[in-house]
Amino acid sequence: MPSRPVKVFYGVGGAGKSALRAKAVDECRARMSDQGGYPLAFAHVDLDSDRITPAYPIFDLFAGRLRAALKAAGCPLPLFDVYCLAWHARGMSSGTFSAEQVQDFLGTHQKASEVAGSWWAPLTDFATSLKGVDLVLKAGIAFRTAWHTRRYAVHFPNLELAELSEADFMQYAHHVLAHDLLAFLDAQRERNGHPKALCITIDGFERIQSQVCAHDAQWALQELCSRIATADPQPRCGFVLFGRNRLQWRELYDRREDLPEDTWDALLEQHLVGGLGETDAEYFLDQAEAWYTARAVDPRSAEILEILSENRKAILDAAEDLADDQPARSFHPYTLDLALRQIDSHRDGFNASTHLGRGHKELQARFLRYMDEGQRSAMQALALALTFDHAVFRLLIKEDLIKGIPVQGFHNLVDPANSHILPAGPQVYRFHSKMQEALLAHLHDQPSGPKQAADVIASLVAHYSAQLAEAVRRHDVAAMQAAYVRAADILLAHADTGLLDVAVFGPAFAALDKAIPWGLLARPRLATWTRAEGVFRARLSADAEKTLGARGEIAYWTGESGDARTALALIEALLPDQRRVLGPDHPDILKTRANLATWTGQAGDAHAALALFEALLLDQQRVLGPDHPDTLTTRNNIATWIGECGDAGRALALFEALLPDQQRVLGPDHPETLRTRNNIAFLIGKTGDLGTALSLFEKLLPDQQRVLGPDHPDTLTTCNNIASFIGWTGDVGTALSQFENLLRDQQRVLGPDHPDTLRTRNNIAGWTGMGGDTSTALTLLEALLPDLLRVLGPDHPLTLGTRHNIAGWTGMGGDASTALTLFEALLPDLLRVLGPDHPHTLNARHNIAYWAGKCGDVAKVLALSEALLPDQQCVLGPNHPDTCATADRIADLQQRLHPDPQTTDDPPGQPPSPARNAPCPCGSGKRFKHCHGQRG
């Protein structure tokens, strides 16, 4: 297998990762020198000094660390230098950075010239005029006249230096730096006959590591790595990361639209750096003896030295990892250090058998047993938090759950000398996994331990629940996710070990999940419900009501995450088990039946979904009553799927009858009420009144933003509908701009594979074509189709619709024959999935006739149109615009087959242009008069 471009070495502190890095670099350089191999540049970043500040983590990492390391390795970064310079200047004008800090960044005036490039030379007064606003303006003026300007403008046309914001830097720093690195590697492709290679190493990675997908330093670094590693042609550039913890980049970031799902599986190679062998452990003790010998004038050091020298074997026995699968003796520096701490703490009356024991578990148990009770209790409380910072420490003191330790004691607790405390992120800490296990085991064995644990867990969950509530109030989705994940992790971790009783866990977890607004955080909720199902199954049983309920949640959030087919399979497997255990009329059964109908429709079978909902409604009215919220929701779904089956008029009537009942029972601001208003507006537009529909959407949007927040999926759906109807009223440019803005929000909130995100990509392609760029529209659709097939499957309506649009834009691009072939291949699938009477099926038949005519077969067009007309009259009605358009076409074709020179100017044998009210043959779904007919 070829070597992967991103390598990670992780393990506990002191396991030798930094030494491994230095040794590997030296050996690699020596080998290349001996063999005449590739010239290799190394850029090394050491994060162990912990200077990554929470305020500007990406700036600290990229401008403060990576830039300096790459410069030292001989990599020029002209665009990134200017980018950083503009950021510094922006900071100066707002008071964030001082002039001295900027000067320190640039160095001397001569160095400033090197930073900015030759275009900086005209700014002779730069050294004496270092004011933030002036600097930005001068940089902008000079930049516009430089060669760098053209490069920058091509790659970053929307990133104005004079308007650079904090959000801009966070969002685009990796783009600019990746561009400079790739340009450098390309320019230096041949040096002394060999391509130049670059190795970027980062030590102490845990300083920026996080457990959530957020725009932080870790996110920016993985974006940089992926863009370099997936560039074509592949540059000779690799990344080697050293840290305490395994990376979770596949779980957090493998959802980029422009990369396949298994990107990080393909790019990332991780290695656990294990414990020390016996020889290395002896060397560790040699070094410790040497350290204390150098300080033997201190009585305390002299005492420790004496005990250490006399008890080396006992220390090794206590520090040994006694795992059954160890082929040889293994020792962690953490346990060796713990043994020395025991010697220091108990040097008066030290006894190896009493204070050390045999094996690391006994050593940890003795470490805790002889510890001050207040200190041990504090450590146990923090262990229950899993990860902690100063705020958590203050909270537990305030709640009287940590006693006898002042707030200032936190800094002593997390002192780097304490090897059992590890960094878990910027200013965030955790216990070494072995110490974490020992702390909680000791707590579990105490008579009052479970009660103490329950109190601490309740306090922590309440703390993060309050943060969640505040984030909900602010509509801050990222903050919601951070608070939810922290609280859920605490509940799940301790319920899984049995420290938290499942009777306490179940209601607490359900309340936490319920606090999130409907529809948000689909992926995190899927992950946490999957873990919760495992807890319920292990602590209760596979048939327990809570276990079955968790399976239902897993299926639901699987669908909400964009995988309708898997959700449907999970629901189909769950329903028989629920019926067997709960009975046919249990509320959970009715809920599962509703989800079965939903995901049946979302998987592509609208008619089956409608039948399932209609059968469900009768049972809900009987069991729950006509005004129960679930009954009203099913009425909403019946109307929705009637519309999806093609009867917009009947669907509109059902929604208009439902809305007053929802307003009376649920209230005007309930999400279901707002959703019905959206559906009414959409169907009014679909039946032809575009102006009224757009007005209703624009009145709805502020209510959704106020109640649900700007990032809620329903709010985003309304933004989609507003953009669509703006386009349908004729403003194609504004529609396209709004869709492009919407896509960015959907990718951020829903993910690139969510059906709504994919639908917006389809819409962008359509409106790009409507704006006159047929070629780009077709390219966008052809890039979208494989993603639709992978995510939704071949029979999903959106997949079929995209195939329809590809055929239409192929024809509009001038290839009538291929368009006809594509439409003829699509029609059998439409007939099988949607049925012969669905409007999309009838529209495809219309387009087959149209493109047959464009290929010159007027007789075939007439035959197809005459076969189509009675079906349109039956399904759509005799006065429907599509029906009238087909009737007009038949009349025109009959005339053209027998042309009368007095009544037509068109050449005989040529098909007519579409009727004004006919569906546009491009496949957009619009009338010809509102689409390509506008240009005529």
Q: What is the pLDDT of residues 901-921, one digit of tens each?
A: 444 444 444 444 555 555 565
- What's the pLDDT tens digit per position in 308-345? 999 999 999 998 887 666 667 888 777 888 899 899 88
Q: Is the pTM of this model over 0.75?
A: no
Token pair in block for residue 620: 């809900």
Paired residues of 421 in beta bridges: 431
Task: Name the H helices within 711-815.
Answer: 713-728, 732-749, 755-770, 774-791, 797-812
Residue 761: burial class (beta carbons within 10 Å; 0-12, 13-18, 19+): buried
Q: Which amino acid is at 550?
A: A
pLDDT of 222: 87
Q: Which amino acid is at 299?
A: P
Q: Which residues neighbour 745 within 8 Å (Cβ) at sequence distance 6 or greater? A: 710, 711, 716, 719
Asked whether 337 and 297 are in contact (CB, 8 A), the reply is: no
Paired residues of 201 in beta bridges: 44, 240
Paired residues of 239 in beta bridges: 6, 200
Q: How far apart are CA 200 and CA 173, in angstroms?
A: 17
| Cα 779–Cα 781–Cα 783 angle in degrees, nearest 5 | 70
pLDDT of 474: 81
Q: Identify the H or E element spanning 691.
A: helix 690-707
pLDDT of 657: 95
Q: What share of the chain is helix, strand, coil (3-state, %, to 5)?
A: 65, 5, 30
pLDDT of 924: 54
Q: Give the full edge-to-edge strand order of the sheet including 197-203.
A: 40-46, 197-203, 237-243, 6-10, 268-272
Token pair in block for residue 700: 């709805």
pLDDT under 50: residue ranges of the chain: 1, 14-17, 19, 31-32, 34-36, 50, 95, 108-149, 192-193, 256-257, 901-912, 935-936
Residue 699: burial class (beta carbons within 10 Å; 0-12, 13-18, 19+): exposed
Token pair in block for residue 236: 């000779």
Q: How far apart are CA 803 and CA 826, in angstroms?
A: 7
Sign of CA dihedral 403, 406, 410, 411: negative
Residue 368 CA from chain centroid, whole number: 41
Asked whether 90 and 462 are in contact (CB, 8 A), the reply is: no
pLDDT of 140: 40
Residue appearing with tokens 């007009």 = 888
pLDDT of 631: 95
Q: How far apart are CA 194 and CA 37, in angstroms?
A: 7
What are the backbone dihedrals phi and psi of residue 611, each rounded to the nearest 5 degrees, phi first?
A: -65, -40
Asked whether 139 and 164 are in contact (CB, 8 A), the reply is: no
Task: Name the H helices within 399-432.
Answer: 409-413
pLDDT of 653: 94
| DSSP for residue 242 | E
Cis peptide leading into residue 233 (ω within 30°): yes
Q: Which residues neighbour 509 within 8 Å (Cβ) at sequence distance 6 or greater? A: 488, 491, 492, 495, 528, 532
Token pair in block for residue 103: 């000067």
What angle do helix axes 839-854 and 816-833 make, rounded to 10 degrees? Answer: 160
As a residue count, the chain comes to 936
pLDDT of 163: 57
- Strand segments (E) across 406-483: 421-425, 428-431
Q: What is the average pLDDT score of the chain?
A: 80
Q: Which amino acid is at 247?
A: L
Q: 3-class SS at 484? A: helix
